[in-house]
Structure 1
Amino acid sequence: MSNLKLIIKREFIARVRNRTFIVMTFLSPLIFVGMISLIAWLTTLNNDEIHKVAFFDETGLFTFDFKDSDEIDYIDYSRLPLNDAKDSVVIKQLDGLLYIPKKNTNKELATSIQFYADESPNISILNKIEKIIGNKLTNQNFTEKGLDLSMIEKAKAKVNIQIENFSGEKTSKMSSYVKMVFGGAAGYFLMMFIIIYGNMVMRSVIEEKSNRIIEIIISSVKPIQLMMGKILGTSFAGILQFLVWVILGGVLLTIATSVFGIDPQPVGMDESLALQEGNHEEIQLLLQDILKLPLGTLIFSFFIYFIGGYFLYSSIYAAIGAAVDSETDSQQFMLPIILPLMLGIYVGFFSVIENPHGTVSTVFSMIPLTSPIVMLMRIPFGVPWWEVLISIFLLIGSIIFIIWLAGKIYRVGILMYGKKPSYKELFKWIKY
C-alpha cells in the first residue's frame, strides 16, 4: 500500500509540475471564454446589420406593404426600367432586387416572383418577404371571394397548450430542452474527460517504457500497483485541473460579460418580443422545471459515473500504453475505446432525447462501456432508482474485470520492446 501511495504522489506531482499541464490549466479557460465572447460579439454585429433590398413591383399591390424594419430597408425602384433597376442595385451594392411581375391571377403571381442577387440571399430575409407577399395575396383572395377580413381576423384562434402533470403541477414547454441540455452537457464533459486524461495515462506509460525507466521501477513494485498508481495519480491531477477550469472560467466569463457588456447567450428577436409582451409565466415555469430537476441525483451520479468511466477506460489506455513502444503504434488499438464513447454520445443525442425510457436508451444505459454517458443523459428525464443501481453495479463489476484483464497485459507488455503487438498476441499475454 505504501508503494501505491508513493506512485500516486509521484504521478500527481509529475503531472502538476509539467509545463504543458500548467499552461493549459490556465490558458484553456481564457481560450474558452474568449471564444464565447468573440462568438457573442460577432452575433451582435450580425444582428445590428441592416439589409437593403430593392423591389420592382409591376402590380402596384405591395408598394405600402414593404415597410422598413430593424433588419431590412426597402427601396422602391418600380418607376425605373427593370434593367436600370438591376444596374442600380449592382452599383450601390444592395442585397438584391425583388421583381414582382404583373400576372392575370394571384396563383400565377405566387410562382413568378424573382429575387436577383449576386450572392445567396439571407434565408431569414427571404422568409420575411415571402410572408409579406403571402399574407397580401391571401387577403386579396379572401376579398375576391366576398369574405370579410376583419371577421376572419377576429375568428382566428390562438392556441396555447398548458402542460400539467397528473398531480396538478404545471411545467414549461421548454422542459424537455432543459433536461436535454443538462444531460447532454454532463455526458459530453464526461466523454471529453475520459479521452483527455486516458490519453495522458497512456502517454505516461509509453514515455517511461521508451526511456527504460520502467525496468527500474518494476523491480521495486508490482505491475498492478504501478498501473493503478498511474491511473489514480493522473485522475487527481485531472480533477484539480477541472476544478481550476470551472472556477477560473466562471470568473472570467463574469468579467467578460460585465466589462464588455457581452451576453454569451444573446436572446433572439422572437424571444425579446415575448419578454416585452410580458411572457413571464413561461419563464417562471422554466425556472421551476430547472429546480425540479433531480440535481442531487445528477451530481451524485456524475461523480459515480465519472470515477467509474474513468477507471474503466484508463485501465484500457494503460494496457495499450504498455503494449506499444510509441504513441503512433497505439492508433491500431484506439477503435475499441473511441467507438463505445462515440456510440454513447450518438445514442444519447438521438435516442435518449427522443425516447429516454425506450428499449435502446435503457439497454445502452446498462452496458458498462456506454452507461456512464447514456445514463447521465437519461437521469434528468427521471430514471427509477433500481435502474441506476443496476447500471452502477454492472459498471463496478466491469471495472474489476477490465482492471484484472489490463493488469495481465500491462505485466507482460511493459517489458516487451521492438515489436508491434497484434490482438492475437494480446490475447496470449492474458493467458500468461
Structure 2
Amino acid sequence: MRNLGLIINREYMARVKNRTFIVMTFLSPLIFVGMILLIAYLSMLNSTDQKIIGIHDESGKFVMEFKDGEQVQFLDYSARSLDMARQEVLDNEYYGLIHISEIDAVTGKPKQIEFFGKETPGFGTVENIEKTISDKLTREQLIAKGIDVSEIDKARASVNVEIQNFSGERSSKMSNYIKMFFGGAAGYLLMMFIIIYGNMVMRSVIEEKTNRIIEIIVSSVKPFKLLLGKVLGTSLAGLTQFSIWVILGTVLLFGISSFLGIDPGSVQTPATQVVSEAAQPEINQLVIDILKLPYASLIGFFLVYFMGGYFLYSAIYAAIGAAVDSETDTQQFMFPVILPLILGIYVGFFSVVENPHGTVSTIFSIIPLTSPIVMLMRIPFGVPWWEIAVSICVLIATNFAVLWLSAKIYRVGILMYGKKPSYKELYKWLKY
C-alpha cells in the first residue's frame, strides 16, 4: 500500500505542477465565461436589430395584415412595379421583399407568394409570413360561407392544465426543459472529462514507455498497482481542476456580468422563448421547479459517476497506452472507446428526454459503459433508488473487471517495443 500511495502522490503532483495544467486550470474558466458573456452580448445585440421588409401586394388584401413589431418593420411597395420594388429594397439593403401575386379566381388564393432577399430568411420569418396570409384567407372563406367569425373568436376557450403528482406536488409544463438542461449538461460534462483525463492517462503511459522509465519502475512495483496508482492520481488531479473551475467560473460569471451589465439569462433558446410567452403563474411555478431540483443528488451522483466512469475508461486508456509506442498508433483503438460515450449522449438526448423511465433509458442507465452519462440525465426526472443502486453496483463491479483485464495487457504491453499490436495479439496478452 505504501508503494501505491507513492505512485498516487507522484501522478497527482506531476499533473498539478505541470505548467500546462496550471495555465489551463485558471485560463479555462475565463474562456468559458467569456464565451457565455459573448453569446449573451451578441444575443442582446441581435434582439435590438430591426428587420425592414418590403411588401409588394398585387391583390391589395394582405398588406395591412402585416403589423410592425419591436424587431420587424413592414414597408408598402405595392404602388411600384415589382422590379422597382426589388431594386429599391436591394439599394436600401433591407432584409427582404414579400411579393404576393393576384388572387386566383378558382382557388381564392394568391397565384404565387415569394420572398426576395440577399440571404435565406429565418424559419420564424417565413412561418410568420405564411401564418399572416393563411389567417387572412381563412377568415375570408369563413365569411364567404356565411359564418360569423366574431362569434368563433368569442367561442375560443383557453385551457390551462395544472400538473401535479399523486401526492399533490405541483410542477410546471416547462419543468421537463429544466430537467433536460441540467441532466444534459451533467452528462455532457462527464463525457468531456472522461475523454480529457483519459487521454491524459494514456499519454502518461506512452511517455514513460518511450523514455524507458517504466522498466525501472516495474522492477519494484507490480503493474496492477502502477496502473491503479496512475488512474487514482490523475482522477484526483481532475477533481481538483474541476473544483477550481466551478468556483472560479461562478465568481467570474456573476462578477463580470454585473460589471458589464450583461444578463447571461438573455440568451434566447426555444425553451426560454416559450417561457417568455407563458403566463406569469406558469413562470412562478417554473422558478419553484428550478429551486426544487435535487441539486445535492445531482452533485453527489455526478461525483460518483465521474469517479466510476473515469476509472472505467482510464483503465482502458492506460491499456491502450501500454500497447502502443506512440500516440499516432492509438487511433485504431480509439473508436471503440469513444463509441459508447457518443451512444450515451444520443440515448440521453433522444430517449431520456422523451421517456426518462422507458425501457431504452433504463437499460442504458445500467450498462456500465453508458450508465455514467445516461443515469445522470435521468436523475433530475426522478429515478427509483434501487435502479441507481443497481447501476452503481454494476459500474463498480465492471471497474474491477476492466482494471484486472487492463492490468494484464498493461503488464505485457509496457515492455513491448517496435510493434503495433492487433486485437488478436491483445487477446493473447490476456491469457499470459
* TM-score tier (shorter): over 0.9
Pick closer, same or farther for the CA change 1:261–1:195 going to 2, 3 Å: same
Q: Please name the residue that 1:283 is paired with.
A: 283
* Residue pair 1:106, 1:137 contacting (<8 A) in 2 also: no
Pick closer, same or farther for the CA change 1:277–1:407 going to 2, 3 Å: closer
Cα deviations across residues 95-116 of structure 1 (Å, max 9, x unaligned)? 2222222325494434522223
Q: Please name the residue that 2:321 is paired with.
A: 321
After TM superposition, give the deviation of residue 25 of structure 1 in Å: 0.8
After TM superposition, give the deviation of residue 239 of structure 1 in Å: 0.8
Q: Which residues in structure 2 correspond to 1:268-347 (within 5 Å)?
A: 268=268, 279-347=279-347
* 3-state SS in 1 of match to 2:206: helix
Give the partner amino acid of 2:204: S
**Structure 1 stretch 265-274 or stretch 23-32: which is displaced more?**
265-274
Pick closer, same or farther for the CA change 1:143–1:17 going to 2, 3 Å: same
* 3-state SS in 2 of match to 1:219: coil
Give the partner amino acid of 2:249: G
Pick closer, same or farther for the CA change 1:260–1:93 going to 2, 3 Å: same
Partner Cα distance (2:404, 2:273) in 1: 60
Q: Which residues in structure 2 correspond to 1:116-135 (within 5 Å)?
A: 116-135=116-135
Partner Cα distance (1:103, 1:40) in 2: 44
Cα deviations across residues 31-74 of structure 1 (Å, max 9, x unaligned)? 11111111122222222111111112223223433332212221
After TM superposition, give the deviation of residue 340 of structure 1 in Å: 1.4
* 3-state SS in 2 of match to 1:115: strand
- Uncovered stretches (5+) of structure 1, i.e. residues with no partner: none
Give structure 1 regions of 4+ aligned residues with deviation exceeding 6 angstroms: 269-278
Q: Please name the residue that 2:15 is paired with.
A: 15
Q: Please name the residue that 2:165 is paired with.
A: 165
Q: Please name the residue that 2:36 is paired with.
A: 36
Partner Cα distance (1:381, 1:271) in 2: 17
Q: Please name the residue that 1:415 is paired with.
A: 415
**Structure 1 stretch 216-225 or stretch 283-292: which is displaced more?**
283-292
After TM superposition, give the deviation of residue 352 of structure 1 in Å: 1.6
Q: Please name the residue that 1:179 is paired with.
A: 179
Cα deviations across residues 195-220 of structure 1 (Å, max 9, x unaligned)? 11111011001101101111112222
Give the partner amino acid of 1:296: A
Partner Cα distance (2:277, 2:94) in 1: 34
Partner Cα distance (1:294, 1:242) in 2: 20
* Residue pair 1:344, 1:373 contacting (<8 A) in 2 also: yes
After TM superposition, give the deviation of residue 173 of structure 1 in Å: 0.3
Partner Cα distance (1:172, 1:360) in 2: 26
Partner Cα distance (2:428, 2:64) in 1: 83
Q: Please name the residue that 1:372 is paired with.
A: 372
Q: Please name the residue that 2:228 is paired with.
A: 228
2:79 equivalent to 1:79:
yes
After TM superposition, give the deviation of residue 290 of structure 1 in Å: 2.9
Pick closer, same or farther for the CA change 1:407–1:130 going to 2, 3 Å: same
Pick closer, same or farther for the CA change 1:104–1:8 going to 2, 3 Å: closer
* Residue pair 1:294, 1:382 contacting (<8 A) in 2 also: no
After TM superposition, give the deviation of residue 249 of structure 1 in Å: 1.0
* Residue pair 1:55, 1:78 contacting (<8 A) in 2 also: yes
Structure 1-normalised TM-score?
0.93
* 3-state SS in 1 of match to 2:52: strand
Pick closer, same or farther for the CA change 1:227–1:273 going to 2, 3 Å: closer
**Structure 1 stretch 253-262 or stretch 58-67: which is displaced more?**
58-67
* Residue pair 2:142, 2:149 contacting (<8 A) in 1 also: yes
* 3-state SS in 2 of match to 1:188: helix
* 3-state SS in 1 of match to 2:327: coil
* Residue pair 2:101, 2:110 contacting (<8 A) in 1 also: no
* Number of residues of Structure 1 aligned to a counterpart in Structure 2: 432
* Residue pair 2:44, 2:267 contacting (<8 A) in 1 also: no
* 3-state SS in 2 of match to 1:179: helix
2:78 equivalent to 1:100:
no
* 3-state SS in 1 of match to 2:97: strand
Q: Please name the residue that 1:405 is paired with.
A: 405
Partner Cα distance (1:272, 1:178) in 2: 10
Partner Cα distance (2:339, 2:155) in 1: 56
Partner Cα distance (1:272, 1:397) in 2: 41
Tell me how large the CA RMSD over aligned residues is.
2.3
- Uncovered stretches (5+) of structure 2, i.e. residues with no partner: none
Pick closer, same or farther for the CA change 1:161–1:190 going to 2, 3 Å: same
Give the partner amino acid of 2:9: K
Partner Cα distance (1:194, 1:296) in 2: 22
Q: Please name the residue that 1:152 is paired with.
A: 152
* 3-state SS in 2 of match to 1:328: helix
Give the partner amino acid of 2:141: N
* 3-state SS in 2 of match to 1:283: helix
* 3-state SS in 2 of match to 1:56: strand
Q: Please name the residue that 1:142 is paired with.
A: 142
